[in-house]
Every structure is written in structure tokens, then in C-alpha cells.
Structure 1
Amino acid sequence: MQGFEVWAPTAERVELVLADETVPMTRTGERWTTDRPAAAGQRYSYRVDGAGPFPDPRSRYQPEGPGEPSEIVDPSTFSWTDQAWLGASLEAAVIYELHIGTFTPDGTLDSAIEQIDHLVDLGVTLVELMPVASFPGNRGWGYDGVDLYAVHAAYGGPQALARFVDACHARGLGVCLDVVYNHLGPSGNYLSEFGPYFTDRHQTPWGSAVNLDAPGSNEVRRFIIDNALMWFRDYHLDALRLDAVHALVDERAVHVLEQLATETDQLATQSGRPLTLIAESDRNDPATVTARGDGGDGGLGLAGQWADDVHHTLHVLLTGESQGYYADFTDPGAFAKIARTPFFHDGTWSSFRQRDHGRPVVPAFTPGWKFVASLQTHDQVGNRATGERLSHLVGRSRLAAGATLLLTLPYTPMLFMGEEWGASTKWAYFTDHQEPELAKAVSEGRRNEFAEHGWGDAVPDPQAASTAEDSTLRWDEVARPDHTRLLAWYQELIRLRRAVPHLADPTLGVTDVRRDGDVLSYQRGGYTVVVNLSANCATHPFGGDSELLASWDAECCGGVLTLEPNGSAIYGPSSRE
């Protein structure tokens, strides 16, 4: 392998620190190099102007965690069997979001492989992993990663990620990875020791912004883009979900996301398979997914983006909650609007923001599959005081009604792990900060935040190991009759979405949305979708015979799902357990 190289533009002296010696490095422009040979498995770090040693900013592996020596990883040693894999596109996808640390009791990528058959049987096509970049401690959501190129050691490290992706491809599943480029975690971040990775020119909720447009930003942009390309190239990933891109403040003429999209498309052409970028954005701006220049719409050119307004509308419809940002979605016309367009706020007044928000979507340029919609996500579950899932809030039958809505709307549906069987485990916010003062501040801050709303001591301590343990899925539940029935309903809805083209039609502008009490109906091509949200089985809006394709509760008229062309119905479950 080649020698060592690191970017440190203002340093006067940089040294390579090995296990048994320190090697002076030579400046070449803004970079420092040495011809000392590098070998896979070798541990190393850098000392900058006498400070350190620090891990490599582009470290591929931190076996002992952030702050400790880096380890060289040679991706050519990964064992791949997916040479026939043609890739997975976002169009027609069904996504499954999971957190490696709580997906299985062992909390590793290798143990997650053992549950791939469940995902295949469910019918999802794209597995979305929450962040795997290395962070301090063992437990955490992953959004406080500090070594963005390194796979978290507690999950199994780089070889384990390669094994997981290879196993998914062998069973026909694509893999998406959640990556965080808008900030780094509060501890274990040594990037500023090397160069201007951050700038005070812009501020974000996490402090100084990542430097995308100030002096020195060329290298920082390459740091981000090279990271994304690494996941695609070296780990054979099919998609990346980009966290909170609205916090990537960039005033250059070519935004870093546009540059990333361009280079991703180039790599896709070279590799012969689709490579997908999905943005989480709070801006409600369709330009995120519209075409770039050259006759396009001047957008950023990403493939997809999360549509949180769809989640908020369905959540309010199912739960009746109206606090905070849910307030606007109590509007009686909210469901009718998000059935036509992914943005409820498309230039309209937002009471939560106290201003107008968003921009209209033009259906001709933006098919529905470009918008990822959900009933539950890690954010919407885990940021609740105690991590309640929808099944805890409204019961499994009403959750099944929500699934009927989600899986018949014109968007790309995403499920959150365990949702499909109504998992009994909550999913709370948990951390494993190693600095005592930071750990105390996080625990107290979480408790105080919700104490103001009357939760008091009910809020789980993020730092307690039991909080992560209690958030771990219990796979023995899948075989229990009450959970099995809900799982079968999700499986059937996904099957029908594929079998009946109208149900996956991405054309925006769902028509004839009606609500009669707790009965919702709307047109999907040549079909009418009807979902009953109540437990009232006294009347049935449709009579006559029809082909029964799936059943939630055949004994209750409000609990059958039927399909027939030209004015037929998908009739959703009642709210009874």
C-alpha cells in the first residue's frame, strides 16, 4: 500500500506516530507525506505541531474508539459475492429503517444478517442503516459520529459492514446508509487540529458550521464528497440518506449537494448500477430533487427527499395529537392535501415557524416516488419523552389503518424497524458519552426538557445501559398471534402495492379525497381506497360481492380489504384490537 498522507495546511510540523517510532513528515503544498510503507492492520496516528497524537481524519477504522490510534483498512481484502448485483433504485422501493445496535440483542452487523430473511419475507427492497460512523462509547443513535470514514467498532467494523451488504445483495435487498455531514459529535472530534474544517462564518444548531464556502473549504468539500463515494465504491452501498441537509450552509454558486449529486451520477455510470442520494430537508423545497442545469430546473439533482409533512398529517390523523409542529396538521383538509402533494406547507403559513414555509411541487418534474413518506422514523419515535411507537399510542389495529394509508399513497414508503409487527419495545433516546461532565449534562438536560411538560422521572436516562437494552427488538414476538396478524397485513399491503400498478403509481394529484366521519376514501387510478379509522362496524359503505384479497378482521365489516377495478375499495381495519 502507499505511504501516509494528511491535510494540515497551517501546521509547522507533522509527525507520523507508529507503535514503536515517530516519523517526521514532509510538507508538499498543504499536505504532509511520508514514503513509509503502510500495511493493512497497522495502527498509526499523527502529531501536529507537538500536539496529539490524533487519529487520522480519514481513518477507516478506530478499533479502540475515537481518540485512539487509527487502523489501516485495505478494501481490496473484502470478500464479495455480489458481482451479479444490478443495484436498487428508489423508484418502486419500499424502505426499512433500522438501527444496528438495537435491531438484534447482539447489536452487530453480523447478527443483523440473521434477520435478512424476515426483511425479504416482509417485502421491503431497501434497508436503511442509521449511521455507522465511529463515535465515543458503544451505544448511541450514531448522529454524534466523529470519525466519518470509520465503521463503528461495536457494530463489527468495516469487514462486518461489507459482509452485511453482500448478504443483503445475495437476497435481493439494496442497502442505504444514513450519513451525517452537517455536524460532528460533541466529543472525540479532532478535525480542527488539522485544518479549517469548521467556520464561524455560519452557525448551526450544533455550533460553527462545517466549512463549505470559507477559505480552506475546497479540501473540506472533498472530505465530504470522497466519503460518500467511498461508501458507494468500497462498500457497494446502493444509497445514502443525507442528514439535515438544510444545515449544510453553502453560499457558493455550486452547492456541495449539487457537486455531490454530479459525482455520484458519474460513479453510477462507471459502476453500471444506480446510486441514490436521499436528503432529509426541512425546507419543503422541490428543488432538492429537480434536475440540475443544462435545460433542467436548476435544482440540486438528488434522487429523493424525506417528506415529513406526510408523516405529521398521518400522525395527527391517527393519534389526534396537536402539540408543537403537529398543530398545523389538525387542519380538516390536511389529508386531502398530502394525498395530492408531499408538502402541506408549500408556501403557506406555518404557525410553528411563525412565517410562510415551503414551495409548491410541480408534478410534471417530480413524481411521487422521489418523496420518502413514513408513519414512524427514529426521530419521530425516539424524540418522544419515553420513545412510544404508534402501536403504543393507538393500538395495532389503528396502526394497521395507517399502514393502509401509507402503502397506497403515491410516495416511497418507509417503515421503522419493528413497526410491521407492532413491537412492544419502545425506542428511546440513548447515549454512551465517556466524559462524565458531558454524560451528566445530557442526562439532566433530557430530564429537564420533558419535566416542563409533566413527564418528570418517567423519562429514561439516556446514559443508562438499560435504556438501549429496553429499546432492543424482541424477535420472539414475531411468532405471537397478535403480532403475526399485523405482520401479515403489512406483507399483504406491500404485495398488493406491487401486484396492482395503480397502488404504486407515482403520479401526484390523488383525486376525489373524501371523509365521512372516520371513513376516508380517495382515488388511485381505477381504484378507490377506503379506510375506516373507527371501531363502528354498523355500516359498510360498499355492498355486493367482491374478491377478497386480504383480511384484517373478516368478522367485522370495517375490517376487510377488497379490490376490484373501477370503483372498488381497499377497506382498512377498524381501531379494535
Structure 2
Amino acid sequence: MQPDNTCKFSVWAPFRKQMVLSLIHPQETTYYMERDDRGYWHVQADNVQAGTRYKYFPDDDDPLPDPASRCQPEGVHGPSEVVDTLFEWTDGDWQGLELHELIIYELHTGTFSPTHDFQGIIGRLEYLRSLGITAIEIMPVAQFPGDRNWGYDGVYPFAVQHSYGGVKGLKALVNAAHQHGIAVILDVVYNHLGPEGNYFSQYGPWFTDKYKTPWGPAINFDDAWCDAVRGYYIQNALMWLDEFHIDGLRMDAVHAIWDCSAKHFTAELSEKVDELQTRLGKKKLLIAELDLNSPRYITPREQGGYGMHAQWIDEFHHALRSLLTGDVNGYYADFGGLAPLAKSFRDSYVYTGQYSVVRKRNFGIDPSGKDYHQFIVFAQNHDQIGNRMLGDRLNTNIPFEAQKLAAAVLLLSPHVPMLFMGEEYGEMRPFQFFTSHSDKDLIAAVTEGRREEFASFAWEGEIPDPQSDDTFNNSTLSWDTTSDEAKALTELYRFLIAFRKTRRAMVETSRDCVEVRTPSTHLLAVERTAKGDRLLLLFNFSEHTVQYIHNGDEALEKKFDSAAAIWNGPGSDAPDEAKSSAVITLQPYSAIVYELI
């Protein structure tokens, strides 16, 4: 929409013979559009106000929403709406953050607060800042069916979910976050589109039969007519990073972005994002969710990689959870015992070419040329909680001391840590899978798909109904932080985050500054060193006390013990100071940090 109230409408439909724009609100007006030689239809309309609703009529077919809609006020089947993109920003001094500065907090807009919207997040920004969080990662907000969804069933990538607060609500959140010194990372889905409200194939060749995804037809990134599709998603990414001032994108399952082009889509996207970063003078990040154990995605383009900046590491979570719970069902069959966690601490990937029982093949490659800050790890996230049958959190399966141990393993890791909302105070409510579809056949298919997904885990109980209001309400954070354990856990997270930020050895992320050892079956010992600062990290994963013998010449000075009474623990048996040959006793499920002097 232009200042003179003219508005240019464009839509890609290369095989259509006619395209008509119908402005249906506040009054109905019809415009015949003109086609260019690339299959785009264009028209300029006069006297268009923000709030004007419209649809396209391809040929003589039924009217359809705009694939590039910026707003769907009546849901995924209703008309699109013209929006006012102007916003009064006050974050001009914000420059963004480097990867090594990130302490990420993943959240779902709908279940984070009682208001279920962006405003509810704004109300908790001061709390997150005081905790030490430097970035929030928001699960997808592209318009989805109904008002309850994880967001991965979105069908209008350019439209901000109306029930969350729409365009202005998201911009207000980003602006407020920057005022608190918090970066915003947005989860985006470029590997598939949701099934309900998906009218894209009626416009043109958005999908390809060359590949398959677990969630629906593969997006056409390398088949005939793919240029328009690639351009659409690149423009979407740049919109978030530029117009919305978003600091980074977490790209869902990039391994399912199938592309055999000479220049992979993610490489083309990273090139455009780097250009935007240079033009704006503000840090912009691309983070890949990746199930390939391949550093190619985060290798610079000039070295033959795709130029993304960081990636999620599920294997750190799998190794930690399997060790703490003893779970070896499903994909946890590739884990168990201390060795996988030690390898993840050292190498980021657990599988670097060895045989995987679950995958039935050799898997992965050594990423040793990449610094630790290019890898994002977590003890919990939306997938690893919500894709359990009951959506049960890690803390509901392990004792309190083990919760503190998990926090220490995460926050003292050399990788970039990510928390999942509520983790820091031990939220007991689950995070379950929920939807609000209107198609009965789709609802049945989703339920059956969930049942099949859980078959290899041998879990017991009834699958929560994704369509039920109760499932959504049960997943909304309680914010019950009144118990002694909740208070102690929150303060422990706060302490460890601050410790991570202020110690030189903790800030350093190069691989030659970390040494990992396993002195015994249940004891992990890690040394982190940088510029004269040396720290010894000890983690006991046993339900019994274990002993560590300090064989070095340095004296030790204790800086942290998760078993201490201050953290609502049983009390520390480890000395505050120790010398060579000292015997250090670790309480069950505890973590200790010593400075080497």
C-alpha cells in the first residue's frame, strides 16, 4: 500500500489464462490483472485502505486467498487483508548479537502466557532479562488453521497469526525485546506447507513429485518453474529480518529442503542474508535444524558450504536424556551410558561416521573444524517434549538433583545453550501436541499419525486429543514458582548463566580450549581454558556418591556445587579448596566447578 492509497497486487500463476482481483471489503470492486512473461499477474488498485479484504479469481474458478497474504483475519479459508506496514520503531541503536553471546529461550506464543499472544511475551521480557536470557526463539507464527497450533502447519508464510496479535503485535514484541537487550529469533518452515487452507497448487507448480517429506508434498526448489518459488521464500526470510527487525531465523528441518541445484537454496538464502546484514550494519543469523550430522550447512560458501551460521544438535539432548532416565527406546537406542554425552561435549556430534543401530548405516562426519558456538544444544525443546506421547517434560522423569545437574551440563557446555520455556523453574505441566483443524478427515489422520509415530517407544497411556481445548490449556505455562525447589532451580539457572557470561574460559568457544575425560563410569570431567583462566567441571551422573582424584599440580578453589544447601541440595561433601592428590566427593547427580590456580 502506497502513501497515495494506491496498492499494487501481484500473484504468480503461470498456467492460468485469466486472473481477477476482487476487493470485497469495505465495498466490492473488480480488477482484471495482466500477466507478464514469467507468469506473474499484476494490477494497481486505487483508494485502498488498510483493512481492505480481497481474493483472487483464477480463470472461472472459486475465489482464493493470496499466497503472499500479509493477514488472514477470517482464518486460512477466508479473504486476505491489506495491512499497514508502518511502525514507529525505537530500536535504532540495536546492533544484534554474535552467536557466542546467545543464551536462547525457546517459547510458544500461544502457551507462554495466559493471554496467549505477543503482548503476554512482552510482559515477561524483564523477567527473561533478569534471568540472563539474551535471545528468545519464537515457534512459527505464520497463519495456521484455527487458533491453536504449534505453527508447523502454517499455510501463509507472510501472514502473522491473527490471534497472536498480527503484524503490529509482532513488531511491538521485537521492538520491546530489543529495548531489553534481547534478540529475537523466529522459527520458519520452508520445507513444507500445512494441509488445511493450502491452495498453492491451484496457482501453480509450488510442489514437486521428485521428492517426499514426512509432512506433505515437497516444495519445488529445483524443478521446472522453481525460480518463483525460491524467490518467494527468500523474500519471506528477508521480510522478517528487515521489515520486522528480526535478528535471526531458525529454519525447520533444512534436510527436507530438497534441492539438487548448482546453488542450494540455503546457500542462495545465506548470500542474500549476508548482503542484508552488510547493508543494515546489524547482525542477522541463520540457524539450521538439521538431522544429517553434516557441517556442510554451516561451512562458508567460499569453502563449498551453504553459509548458514549455526545448527541445532539433537544428539546432545538424546545423550543427556538417555543417560539421566535410562531410556533406550526409539531413537534413544543409539545412546545410553556416559560415552555418548562425553563425545557430544567434545565433538558436538555423537555420530561422526560410526554405525548407527537406529539408522542401520554409518552416520555423520567429524565437525572439528567448526567452533562450538556454531552448535546449539538443549536439555529440552518443543520437539523432544511435545513429540513424546504425553508431552512430559524431563523434570517430571528425574529427581530434583538431576534437574540441577542437567542445567549445569547445558549451561557449562561450550556450545550455545537453549532453554525451553518453564524449564528454569521446573514447570510440571506438559507441552503436548495441539491443533484446531476443521477438516474431520485431517483430524483423524493426524491422530493416527501420532499413534504410529509412538509405536517404537513402547510408551503407555492414552494419546492426548490434539483437537481438545484441554490439551492446549494443559500445555499453557502455570508460572508456579512458589515452591522452594522452583525458587532454588531458578536461582541456579540465573547463577550459571551469569557465570557463563563472565568467565573467560566459559566465553571461549574454540575446540582447543576444551578437554573432556571420563575418569569413571558415571563421572564426566571437563577442563575449559582461556587466557589464563582455567576451570575444572565435574559431573556425577550416578545415584550414589563418586570420588574424583585431582592429579594436577594446581590448587583448586570451588566456585559452584549443585548439591549445596543454597540450591536446596543435600549439602556439599567437596572441599572448598584442594591441592594435588586431593580426593573430591561428589554427591549423587551433582555438578561441581573448580577454578585451577
TM-score bracket, normalised by the shorter chain, equals over 0.9
Once the two structures are TM-superposed, the CA of residue 560 in structure 1 deviates from its matched residue by: 7.3
| Counterpart among 40, 43, 49 of residue 34 in structure 1 | 43
Match of 1:521, SS state, is strand
Contact 2:193-2:216 within 8 A present in 1 as well = no
Contact 2:11-2:40 within 8 A present in 1 as well = yes
The amino acid across from 1:11 in the alignment is: R
Q: Which runs of 5 or more structure 2 residues have no equivalent in the other structure?
A: 591-597
Q: Does 1:164 align with 2:173?
A: yes
For residues 562 and 437 of structure 1, the distance between their equivalents in structure 2, rounded to whole angstroms, comes to 63
Q: Does 1:9 align with 2:14?
A: yes
Contact 1:549-1:562 within 8 A present in 2 as well = no
Residue 124 of structure 1: aligned partner: 133
Deviation track 1:292-320 (CA, whole Å, cap 9, x = no partner) reads: 12xxx211110100111111111112111
Once the two structures are TM-superposed, the CA of residue 86 in structure 1 deviates from its matched residue by: 1.3
For residues 426 and 562 of structure 1, the distance between their equivalents in structure 2, rounded to whole angstroms, comes to 38
The amino acid across from 1:123 in the alignment is: G
The amino acid across from 1:22 in the alignment is: T
Instruction: Please list, as runs of the form range in 1=range in 2, the aligned pairs for 1:494-509 lying within 5 A after superposition.
Output: 494-508=497-511
Contact 1:25-1:33 within 8 A present in 2 as well = yes
Once the two structures are TM-superposed, the CA of residue 96 in structure 1 deviates from its matched residue by: 0.6
The amino acid across from 2:162 in the alignment is: A
Q: Which runs of 5 or more structure 1 residues have no equivalent in the other structure?
A: none
Once the two structures are TM-superposed, the CA of residue 414 in structure 1 deviates from its matched residue by: 0.6
Contact 1:443-1:463 within 8 A present in 2 as well = no
The amino acid across from 1:441 in the alignment is: A
Once the two structures are TM-superposed, the CA of residue 290 in structure 1 deviates from its matched residue by: 1.1
Residue 266 of structure 2: aligned partner: 257
Q: Does 1:470 align with 2:480?
A: no
Instruction: Please list, as runs of the form range in 1=range in 2, the aligned pairs for 1:404-419 lying within 5 A after superposition.
Output: 404-419=408-423
Contact 2:548-2:584 within 8 A present in 1 as well = no
The amino acid across from 2:271 in the alignment is: T
| Counterpart among 470, 473, 482 of residue 485 in structure 2 | 482
Match of 1:523, SS state, is strand
For residues 113 and 533 of structure 1, the distance between their equivalents in structure 2, rounded to whole angstroms, comes to 38
Q: In structure 2, do the counterparts of structure 1 residues 562 and 368 end up closer, same or farther at CA, with 3 Å as the change threshold?
A: farther
Q: In structure 2, do the counterparts of structure 1 residues 353 and 3 end up closer, same or farther at CA, with 3 Å as the change threshold?
A: same
Q: In structure 2, do the counterparts of structure 1 residues 429 and 89 end up closer, same or farther at CA, with 3 Å as the change threshold?
A: same
The amino acid across from 2:489 in the alignment is: L
Contact 2:129-2:180 within 8 A present in 1 as well = yes
Instruction: Please list, as runs of the form range in 1=range in 2, the aligned pairs for 1:3-152 lying within 5 A after superposition.
Output: 3-19=8-24, 20-29=28-37, 30-37=39-46, 38-75=48-85, 77-152=86-161
| Structure 1 range deviating more: 415-424 or 202-211 | 202-211
Identity of aligned residues (%): 40
Deviation track 1:127-178 (CA, whole Å, cap 9, x = no partner) reads: 0000000011110100000000000011111110001101100000000000
For residues 89 and 22 of structure 2, the distance between their equivalents in structure 1, rounded to whole angstroms, comes to 33
The amino acid across from 1:268 in the alignment is: Q
Once the two structures are TM-superposed, the CA of residue 416 in structure 1 deviates from its matched residue by: 0.5
Q: Does 1:327 align with 2:327?
A: no
Match of 2:328, SS state, is coil
Contact 2:110-2:116 within 8 A present in 1 as well = yes
Match of 1:469, SS state, is helix
For residues 310 and 532 of structure 1, the distance between their equivalents in structure 2, rounded to whole angstroms, comes to 17
| Structure 1 range deviating more: 560-569 or 113-122 | 560-569
Q: Does 1:298 align with 2:301?
A: no
| Structure 1 range deviating more: 535-544 or 166-175 | 535-544
Match of 1:353, SS state, is coil
Once the two structures are TM-superposed, the CA of residue 6 in structure 1 deviates from its matched residue by: 1.2
Q: In structure 2, do the counterparts of structure 1 residues 64 and 563 end up closer, same or farther at CA, with 3 Å as the change threshold?
A: farther
Deviation track 1:465-523 (CA, whole Å, cap 9, x = no partner) reads: 10010011011x12332201001111111111011121232122532412424332121
Residue 345 of structure 1: aligned partner: 351
The amino acid across from 2:443 in the alignment is: A
Match of 2:500, SS state, is helix
Once the two structures are TM-superposed, the CA of residue 331 in structure 1 deviates from its matched residue by: 5.5
Once the two structures are TM-superposed, the CA of residue 209 in structure 1 deviates from its matched residue by: 1.2
Q: In structure 2, do the counterparts of structure 1 residues 120 and 561 end up closer, same or farther at CA, with 3 Å as the change threshold?
A: farther
| Counterpart among 313, 316, 332 of residue 319 in structure 2 | 313
Contact 2:380-2:394 within 8 A present in 1 as well = yes
For residues 222 and 19 of structure 2, the distance between their equivalents in structure 1, rounded to whole angstroms, comes to 26
Match of 2:210, SS state, is strand
The amino acid across from 2:396 in the alignment is: H
Q: In structure 2, do the counterparts of structure 1 residues 414 and 540 end up closer, same or farther at CA, with 3 Å as the change threshold?
A: same
Residue 283 of structure 1: aligned partner: 292
| Structure 1 range deviating more: 496-505 or 235-244 | 496-505
| Counterpart among 179, 182, 186 of residue 188 in structure 2 | 179
The amino acid across from 1:17 in the alignment is: S
The amino acid across from 1:519 in the alignment is: L
TM-score w.r.t. the length of structure 2 is 0.90
Residue 538 of structure 2: aligned partner: 530
For residues 10 and 579 of structure 2, the distance between their equivalents in structure 1, rounded to whole angstroms, comes to 64
For residues 362 and 452 of structure 1, the distance between their equivalents in structure 2, rounded to whole angstroms, comes to 33
The amino acid across from 1:508 in the alignment is: R
For residues 216 and 172 of structure 2, the distance between their equivalents in structure 1, rounded to whole angstroms, comes to 36
Contact 1:563-1:570 within 8 A present in 2 as well = no
The amino acid across from 1:478 in the alignment is: T
For residues 546 and 532 of structure 1, the distance between their equivalents in structure 2, rounded to whole angstroms, comes to 19
Once the two structures are TM-superposed, the CA of residue 411 in structure 1 deviates from its matched residue by: 0.6
Deviation track 1:77-111 (CA, whole Å, cap 9, x = no partner) reads: 21211111111222221111000010012110011
The amino acid across from 2:301 in the alignment is: R
For residues 363 and 236 of structure 2, the distance between their equivalents in structure 1, rounded to whole angstroms, comes to 32
TM-score w.r.t. the length of structure 1 is 0.93
Once the two structures are TM-superposed, the CA of residue 395 in structure 1 deviates from its matched residue by: 2.6
| Structure 1 range deviating more: 274-283 or 396-405 | 396-405
Q: In structure 2, do the counterparts of structure 1 residues 451 and 9 end up closer, same or farther at CA, with 3 Å as the change threshold?
A: closer
Contact 1:97-1:127 within 8 A present in 2 as well = yes
For residues 585 and 67 of structure 2, the distance between their equivalents in structure 1, rounded to whole angstroms, comes to 54
| Structure 1 range deviating more: 413-422 or 451-460 | 451-460
Deviation track 1:420-446 (CA, whole Å, cap 9, x = no partner) reads: 111011111111111122123323443
Match of 2:557, SS state, is coil
For residues 422 and 213 of structure 1, the distance between their equivalents in structure 2, rounded to whole angstroms, comes to 45
Contact 2:247-2:283 within 8 A present in 1 as well = yes
Q: In structure 2, do the counterparts of structure 1 residues 12 and 520 end up closer, same or farther at CA, with 3 Å as the change threshold?
A: same
Contact 2:390-2:464 within 8 A present in 1 as well = yes
The number of residues matched between the two structures is 569
Once the two structures are TM-superposed, the CA of residue 564 in structure 1 deviates from its matched residue by: 9.6
Deviation track 1:315-347 (CA, whole Å, cap 9, x = no partner) reads: 112111111211122265222211211111111
For residues 187 and 175 of structure 1, the distance between their equivalents in structure 2, rounded to whole angstroms, comes to 28
Match of 2:495, SS state, is helix
Q: Does 1:424 align with 2:435?
A: no
For the aligned residues, what is the CA RMSD? 2.5
For residues 572 and 88 of structure 1, the distance between their equivalents in structure 2, rounded to whole angstroms, comes to 37
The amino acid across from 1:226 in the alignment is: Q
Once the two structures are TM-superposed, the CA of residue 539 in structure 1 deviates from its matched residue by: 5.8
The amino acid across from 1:298 in the alignment is: G
For residues 569 and 123 of structure 1, the distance between their equivalents in structure 2, rounded to whole angstroms, comes to 34
Residue 190 of structure 1: aligned partner: 199
Contact 1:62-1:69 within 8 A present in 2 as well = yes
| Structure 1 range deviating more: 42-51 or 239-248 | 42-51
